[in-house]
A and B are shown apart, each in its own frame.
Chain A
């Protein structure tokens, strides 16, 4: 299935947000996940399966003025 992650369309095998985060080696505590324009609390990541055409934004806080 195709999912748009941070603006790029990627080919993924079926998975939940949690598995995706783990597979990519991202640190959960530093991560903000926006799924189809909705922020998903970390506790719910394992319950949300990604679907064809979904949009995912993986964000984190960085230095800025």
Chain B
């Protein structure tokens, strides 16, 4: 497992749990959660400053060794996502960008079409692009062609904690992947994260389930262990149940002996 490295852009990750900074009761929990889980990449968002209130700088809570993954949340078009990505890079957040374009404010489903357009533009500008999408095989191929560094299909709606509702579709992405598949959104329990990894996902991104747990630090650690266990099981190749019936009459009998 020590040699089991996930490479994205020019970064190498030995921990396959990615985390987020949203929804923590107290931002001081973030560095503890990162330490406890060992997570090496964490998402942040970019927002207009509230001119009426003093705000904390979230970046102060993230150790330098952890890769920042700014997202483009709030973007409703590819152009807006591109603009946010450029701002994040200019602001010194590095080359990584999670593209999140949401036009549906009821279920918060990603807009795959705009996301693809943004991926095409940003990959050309040298970003390490991680698009957050509905798991659509054809789209995934187009994202790969467009230069995405990974594909991030949702397991269930954002913040829903419903787990791998899209497992069968994600399986197709994994089966045909040319770039890593990172399951993002909807994972509510460590067991669901383990299941995603057993399926062959390259990593999972968990925010809400950790941030809103009674003890986010312990929950972060639980997720890290689950991801590791799932990964180990995947590498160890799960034995599958054989469903083949016994031969009634041999199919290869005509070949004679060896």
Contact = CB atoms under 8 A, between A and B. Distances in A.
Q: A–B direct touch, CB within 8 Å, in complex?
A: yes
Interface of A: 5-7, 24-27, 29-32, 34, 37, 39, 41, 57-65
A30 B208 CA distance: 24
A34 B55 CA distance: 18
Interface of B: 20-24, 27, 30, 43-49, 51, 54-60, 70-71, 73, 83, 86-87, 90-91, 93, 158-159, 185, 205, 207-208, 211
A65 B49 contact: no
Contact of A65 (B87, B90, B208): B208
Nearest to A10: B51
25 contacts: A6-B51, A24-B51, A27-B54, A27-B57, A29-B57, A30-B55, A30-B57, A30-B60, A37-B83, A58-B48, A60-B47, A60-B58, A61-B47, A61-B58, A61-B91, A61-B93, A62-B47, A63-B20, A63-B21, A63-B44, A63-B211, A64-B71, A65-B45, A65-B71, A65-B159
A63 to B, nearest CB: 4
A33 to B, nearest CB: 9
Contacts of A26: 49, 51
A9 to B, nearest CB: 14
B23 A25 contact: no
A-B residue pairs, 10 tightest by C-beta = A64-B45, A30-B57, A65-B207, A65-B20, A39-B90, A63-B21, A32-B91, A65-B22, A58-B49, A6-B48
Contacts of B90: 32, 39, 41
B54 A61 contact: no
A60 B71 CA distance: 13
Nearest to B70: A61
A63 B27 contact: yes
Contacts of A6: 48-49, 51
